[in-house]
Structures are given as structure tokens and as C-alpha cells.
Amino acid sequence: MERVKLITLPQLNDCGGDIEKRWFVYYSVKDPRTGKMKRFKYYKGLNKIKVSKARYAKSVEIINELSGKLKSGWNPFIDDTQVIYADQLRYKNIEEIYGKMRASNTTFRLYSNKYLETRERASEGSLTTYRSKLRVFSTWIEANYGEVDVSAVNNKVVLRFFSEFLIGKKKLADKTIRCYKQIISNVFDHVVNEGKMMSNPVYHVPKGYDKDEAPRPVASFDIQKFRDTISKRDPQLWMAIEFETYCFLRPGKELRLLKIRDIDFARGLINVDRFRSKTNRERFATIPDHFLLKLREVYNLHKYNRDYYVFGKGYKPGPECLGKNNLKNRFNSFREMLNMPSEYKLYSWKHTGNSLALDNNISMYALRDQNGHSSVQVTEIYTKNKVGTISREIKDKFPDLDNL
């Protein structure tokens, strides 16, 4: 990012020492509304003094006073009681001025928080996405340039973040890039509406990688390979996969935060409250009889403390839940070991469950309730996009060229 001058500290113009001319102290400050530097001149109390030595002494006094005000956060563009930006781009000549004023910065991080306050009615899942991506952008800015004022984040900065970091280093897919673009742009729209910038700097953002790595249902001939290996080496992970496949629990909060008391071991139901549900709707997932018996007779879950998390530390139920990426990372390790396609992800098992249900003629109404969807139409769209339509005739009856 190119360096942008934010202030010029007060200096004296003594007109070459000519006591008959009007001396003044001048300084410049960047106008956050236009992005341009504006010079200010200060004459007050200076030219009434007719002795040069005394006038120089007075100028030092004025310079110290103005410098002190700038160091404390005073801004000539706004009311004296407000605080301007601090710790801007860490230029050597102003770093000491701004270094200790981070709490009151008008930074992108500050406006990110203000924007999030306007999104308080969004679902927790959406808010998590907003926070995550805005945190990445804020951290990247601070790591590279310090806590830069939001008005200094121009299009060049934005493009560098996307092209060098997200695409060049992180190798993110275009869908993810578009998500970052929309969320960051929304914050800058808010900044523009607040009158802190003239225009939104998020434009001409390059495309990400054209790759489709969305989770895909696991093929029937691969399910056995996963089962034979994972069930023996990591029974807890295989139990998680079974919950996901049979009960359609999403691997995030629905699965990770599942507690023993959420399971009705008599009737075979799982209570997924709205605080854990991605759809923000409470639902009761049905447990197939064969899996219910396994939960009781093999995993013995009903014997644990009802307040324990099903997926606790130490590979057994416990008072502490697993970390956010724990199960995912464990599954990915097995996927690599078995040389399976990268499209197989932990989330794939929920899609696999839907696929198996469709293959066995389970109704859309049952799938709607098990998924926690609001309507059959939503379920139909979901299964079409995530599971796809497979022709059993083509799959089972098409002749093999090697056997002709």
C-alpha cells in the first residue's frame, strides 16, 4: 500500500525573520471526507508582539499547544470533544503521536463492529460468517499497516487484500471471494453513509479460483471403506458420522454441542433446539431403530451424565465439547489416508443420508422434518442441488466396455 500522509506537525513561518510581516504557525491534516490534505494557519496572539525574540518564544508556545492537541486526538474538522484517528500507517515521523491511541481509532475494525450492530436480527450462522470475514480483513490491514484510519483504505488496498492474500496465498474459490467482497462492501457502504468516505473502495475485485469443492454424497462403494477403517481406529468419529447420516445433524453446533440430555433414548428422538439449529428453528430428529439400539447397547450413551457433551474430549462423552475443527480434521486425515476424493468432507455424510433416504423411497415430507426445512419445496431444492438426481437404470444397467 502506498504511503498516505495524514498530518504535518505545526511549524513556524517567520517571513525570513522580518518583524514587520505577519508571522504564522501552519500545519496540515487530512480531511477524512475528501481524502485530501488541508493546510491551516494560526496567527492569534503572535503578531501583536513587536520584539523578535519574544515572538519566537510565543511561536514555540503556540506550536507546543497545537502539537499537544493533535497528539491528544483533536481534529480541526470536527468538534473538539471528538477523537480522530490514531496509529495510522505507522510512519516514522508520526508513530509516536498515534501509537497509544488505539482504543478510539476510526478504523475499519471499528466500523465493522458498528455495521454488525445493524445486523443484530441476522441468524447466528450469518453473524458468524460476517464476523469471521471482517476479522480476517481487519487483521490483515493491521498486520501490514497498523490500525489505519478507514479513510486511508482505498481501492489499491482492497485489491491487494484480494489478489495477494485471499487468491494468491489462500487460493480461495470464486464463491468465497464473492462472499468476502459482499460483506466488506457492505461495511464500506455504511462508512459512506456515515459521511466518513466519499465512495466505496470495493470494486474491480478479481475472481477467485474456479473450483467446485462443495461437499458431495459419499458413493456406496466408498462408504464401506470409510466404515471399516474409521469404526476400528476412531469409534467416536464414526459415531459422529452415524449421527450425521441417520439424523441429518449438521457437523457444526448441531453435532458438536449435542448433549446426552438432548437424546430421548426411549422414543428415539433428538431435540435440536433453535440456538444450535442452522435454520434457527427447533426440530426433533428421528433416530432409526437400528441406530437407537447401537447408541444404547454399543456406545452406552444413556449411562453417561445427562449434562455431558456426546462428543467430549478424550474420545468419550464429557463436560467439555470438542474444538470447532476437531472432527473435521480427523475425518480429513482418514480421507487422505484412504486416497479418497477431496469432495468428501465431514458435511458429506448429511448429504449421504439424504441420498440414501431418496434411494429407499423415503418421502419428501419425512426428509423435510428430518432436515428441519420450512417446506417440502425447500427440501426438493436442497436435494436437487446437494444430492442430485441419479438414474438407477443408467447406474445399474449400463454395459461395461471391458465386458463386451
Looking at per-residue pLDDT, the higher value among 401 and 33 belongs to 401
Decide if domain 220-396 falls under CATH 3.40.718.10: no
HEC profile of 80-125? CCCCCCCCCCCCCCCHHHHCCCHHHCCEHHHHHHHHHHCCCCCCHH
Indicate whether 390 pLDDT > 90.
Answer: no
* Mean pLDDT confidence for 29-39: 74
pLDDT tens column, 312-331: 999 999 999 998 889 999 99
Indicate whether 402 pLDDT > 80.
Answer: no
Question: What is the predicted pLDDT for the residue at 378?
Answer: 87
pLDDT tens column, 58-102: 999 998 888 877 766 666 765 433 333 333 333 333 344 344 334
Question: What is the predicted pLDDT for the residue at 94?
Answer: 39
Question: What is the predicted pLDDT for the residue at 225?
Answer: 95
pLDDT tens column, 147-164: 778 888 999 999 999 999
**CA separation for the pair 245, 20 (Å, rounded):** 90
Percentage of the chain lying above the pLDDT 90 cut: 44
In the 8-state DSSP scheme, what is residue 302?
G
- Start-to-end Cα distance in the chain: 64
- Burial state string for 105-142 with b = 16 or more CB within 10 A and e = fewer than 16: bbbbbbbbeebbeeeeeeeeeeeeebeebbebbbebbb
* Mean pLDDT confidence for 166-183: 91
Domain layout of the chain by residue ranges: 7-86, 108-193, 220-396
**CA separation for the pair 252, 328 (Å, rounded):** 10
Mean pLDDT estimate for the chain: 84
Looking at per-residue pLDDT, the higher value among 38 and 352 belongs to 352
Query: Coil, strand, or helix at residue 263?
Result: strand
Question: What is the predicted pLDDT for the residue at 74?
Answer: 67
Percentage of the chain lying above the pLDDT 70 cut: 86
Judge contact between 69 and 83, C-beta under 8 A: no
* Mean pLDDT confidence for 372-393: 78
Cα-Cα-Cα-Cα dihedral sign, residues 145, 149, 153, 158: positive
Amino acid at 207: K
Indicate whether 6 pLDDT > 70.
Answer: no
> Which among 275, 249, 263 has a CA at the least distance from the CA of 372?
249
Question: What is the predicted pLDDT for the residue at 26?
Answer: 92
Indicate whether 145 pLDDT > 50.
Answer: yes
pLDDT tens column, 239-298: 999 999 999 999 888 999 999 999 999 999 999 887 777 666 788 999 999 999 999 999
Question: What is the predicted pLDDT for the residue at 233?
Answer: 94
